[in-house]
Amino acid sequence: MKPLIHTSSGNFIIAQYILMNDLDEILVEVRDNGSICIPGDYVLDDDAVDSHDYDSVAVSSVDRLLKSSLGISCDQKEHLCIGLHIEEDKQFNCHFVVCRGWNGDVPKRNKKDIRLMWVNRMFAKNLLTDAVDKDALEKLK
């Protein structure tokens, strides 16, 4: 499986999930280099099923990511927004999906051994490293 590339822009498509608990906290990744970000990964070709509705593709891709990264499933998902992230010579269309109410226990580390922690939504914006993550969080109601 290879990463899906947006047909008109040529950008890679990323699905990022904003997992929210009942305490108004969101789940973030704390990477080894100290950066703190909203979890996510590439949308893969197999996630698309020949669809060019990238919002829907990102939402369904989150199902795969939650199961493979955290071992949980979420029934209440909604597409929040799209942000553009530029890294060296690559551009990414980051689709943010809000997840509320899930089945399973959220681990302290994901399957890639990246540390996870819950952060109050109001303070998370000050901790997040990437501007695109901060912008998405501002749109969250």
Amino acid (one-letter) located at 14: I
Residue 6 lies in a domain: no
User: Does 3 map to a domain?
Assistant: no
Assess if residue 5 is contained within a domain: no
Q: How many domains does the chain have?
A: 1
Q: Distance between CA 61 and CA 113 in Å, rounded?
A: 20
Asked whether residue 1 is assigned to any structural domain, the reply reads no
Would residue 72 count as lying in a domain? yes
What pLDDT, on a 0 to 100 scale, did the predictor assign at position 76? Answer: 93
Q: How many of the other CB atoms lie within 10 Å of CB of 46?
A: 11
CATH of the domain at 95: 3.90.79.10
pLDDT in tens, 5-50: 776 777 888 999 999 999 999 999 999 899 999 999 988 776 665 5
- pLDDT tens figures, 45-89: 766 655 667 788 888 889 989 999 999 999 899 999 999 988 888
Answer whether residue 4 is part of any domain. Answer: no
pTM of the complete model: 0.90
Range of the domain at 67: 12-139
